[in-house]
Amino acid sequence: MNTIAQSRAVRLNRVLVNTYQLLSATLIFSGLMAYLSMYLQLPHFGLLITLGGYLGLLYLTNKLKNSAGGILAVFALTGFMGLTLGPMLSSYISAFSNGAELISMAMAGTGLIFLTLSFYVITSGKDFSFMRGMLMVGLVVVVLALIANYFMQIPVLSLTISAVIILLMSGFILFETSNIIHGGETNYIMATVSLFVSIFNIFVHLLSILGVFSGDD
């Protein structure tokens, strides 16, 4: 029994290590793609291209998750997300005199949120699987709110949605990290995608909130 438990612990630890290694690599690659997008001055991709590209590459990643091709698919997905981020970052730099500072603050805040939440889950060993239902309901509500605000363009609603998304994505980080260490997620490729998407959304919406309160239009 002891040997079985030790073997399971080693396997789960390997999934966690592989996830963090791949996550680090994809974050760097996505950042490089965002810089390339800014350098080339690419225009905003638009909702349909962004959503279509994301869903298509997500489907491909899920399809190849048990093969070496899954790693290439992850880099394709995160690289594409980085490219879509570039135009937004360029707009912040051009629209705000402290745009580069706002971006740095959003990056630091995102890193702090992720590291704090991950450290808490890993050290406490707490099981956050009970959050699954709440997170899925919250995700549906946020998507509906985003669609509604896409047409209404209400500033206060945008700010509220950004704050809720940050909280929701923080919940997903807790859930996914817990899922890994408790054996609910054994595929490090899909675990990486889940954590990357959460980090990406926290950064985007934290930057949006910082922009609103910067007082510099």
**If you count DSSP H runs as helices and E runs as strands, how many of each does the chain have, helices first?**
7, 0
Percent of the chain with pLDDT over 90: 77
Q: Answer yes or no: are the C-beta atoms of 94 and 102 closer than 8 Å.
A: no
Token code pair at residue 129: 């699987």
| pLDDT-based confidence at residue 12 (cuts at 50, 70, 90) | low
Domain ranges, residue 83:
2-213
Who's near 5: CB < 8 A, 6+ residues apart? Answer: none
Query: Which single residue is written with the structure tokens 């291209």?
Result: 49
Token code pair at residue 149: 């605000």
Token code pair at residue 111: 């890193």
What pLDDT is recorded for position 13?
Answer: 78
Token code pair at residue 216: 């510099």
Mean pLDDT, to the nearest integer, of 136-154?
89
DSSP 3-state of 57: helix
pTM: 0.91
pLDDT digit string, tens, across residues 152-202? 888 888 899 999 999 999 999 999 999 999 888 889 999 999 999 999 999
Q: Is the dihedral of CA 8, 11, 15, 16 positive or negative?
A: positive
What pLDDT is recorded for position 27?
Answer: 97
- Listed in sequence order, the DSSP H helices in 64-154 are 69-95, 99-124, 132-152
Label residue 23 left, alpha or beta by phi (over 0 means left) and psi (-120 to 50 means alpha): alpha
Looking at per-residue confidence, does 215 or 133 come out higher?
133
Mean per-residue pLDDT over the chain, rounded: 91
Is it the case that residue 8 has pLDDT exceeding 70? no
| pLDDT-based confidence at residue 5 (cuts at 50, 70, 90) | very low
Mean pLDDT, to the nearest integer, of 114-123?
94
pLDDT digit string, tens, across residues 97-113? 899 999 999 999 999 99
Q: How many domains does the chain have?
A: 1
